[in-house]
Amino acid sequence: MFVVQEEVEQLRLAQCILVGGPDQRRLLKYLLVDNNYNPIERLVQNDSHTLPVIIHLALQHTIDFDGKNEAIIISGWMTLVCVFSYSV
């Protein structure tokens, strides 16, 4: 599973690099490659601390609803905000 996720992350990075110019490529390389970016790291000072995340969801419309399986497919916008308790 981790190998597949890593491949997907590399493809996303490649797509961003193709779209952007040289400055964007340099920034992405600095942030994601040179600094050993790890998407599963939590930004906390102590591993026992929690990382509060605020989630906002603006629902546009319901695409599909399956009452039998209690599943719903929706369309909308989601915003995630991490709340840091210390200065970065």
Q: Is the pLDDT of residue 36 over 70?
A: yes
pLDDT of the residue at 39:
74
State how far the alpha carbon of 5 is from the alpha carbons of 1, 14, 29, in Å: 6, 14, 19
Average pLDDT over residues 66-85: 89
| Domain range summary for the chain, segments of one domain joined by + | 1-41, 45-88
Buried b (16+ CB within 10 A) or exposed e, 52-81: eeeeeeeeeeeeeeeeeeeeeeeeeeeeee
* Confidence (pTM): 0.42
Q: Is the pLDDT of residue 10 over 80?
A: no
Q: Largest alpha-carbon pair distance within the chain?
A: 51
- Residue 81 confidence (pLDDT) above 80: yes
Q: Of 9-18, 35-44, 46-55, 76-85, which gets the smallest average pLDDT?
A: 9-18
